[in-house]
Amino acid sequence: MAEHFRGELPKILRLLAAPAGFLPLGPALTLAVRRFARRKPAVFDRLGDYGKCSFLIEPSDLDVCFLMVPDGTRAEVKCLRRRASQHADVTVRGPLLVLLGLLDGTFDGDALFFNRAIAVSGRTDALVALRNAIEDAELTPADFVGATGGLGRLVDRSVIGGLGLARRFTGSPIPGEPS
Partner 1 sequence: MSLELVCPAGTPSALRAAVEAGAHSVYCGFRDETNARNFPGLNFSPDELVEGVRFAHAHGAKVLVAINTFAKAGAMDAWKAALANAEKAGADAVILADLAVLDHAATHHPNLRLHLSVQAAAATPEAIAFYADTFGVKRVVMPRVLSVEEIAKLNAAINVETEAFVFGGLCPMTEGRCSLSSYATGKSPNLTGVCSPPEHVAYTEDRNGTATRLNGFTIDRFGAGEQAGYPTLCKGRFVAGGKTSYLFEDPVSLNAASLIAALAKAGITALKIEGRQRGKGYVTEVVRTFRAAVEAIDAGGTEVEVGRLLAGLVEGGRQTSGAYKKTWR
The Cα–Cα gap between 21 and 42 comes to 33
Amino acid, res. 8: E
Q: Is 107 in the site for partner 1 (CB under 8 A)?
A: yes
In angstroms, rounded to a whole number, what is the distance separating the alpha carbons of residues 31 and 37? 10
From the list 130, 142, 155, 163, which residue makes contact with partner 1 (rule: CB under 8 A)?
A: 130
Q: Whole-angstrom Cα distance, residue 57 to residue 76?
A: 13
Which span (23-31, 57-65, 76-84, 102-110) binds partner 1, by CB under 8 A? 102-110
Residues 2-61 interacting with partner 1 (rule: CB under 8 A): 2, 46-48, 50
Position among 136, 157, 161, 169 found at the interface with partner 1 (CB under 8 A): 136
Does position 99 interact with partner 1 (CB under 8 A)? The reply is no
Judged by CB under 8 A, how many residues of this single chain contact partner 1? 44
Q: Which is nearer to partner 1, 26 or 101 (CB)?
A: 101
Q: Does 124 bind partner 1 (CB under 8 A)?
A: yes
Q: Is 156 in the site for partner 1 (CB under 8 A)?
A: no
The single residue among 62, 126, 142, 163 that binds partner 1, judged by CB under 8 A, is: 126
Q: Binding residues for partner 1, per CB under 8 A?
A: 1-2, 46-48, 50, 101, 105-111, 113-116, 119-133, 135-138, 173-179
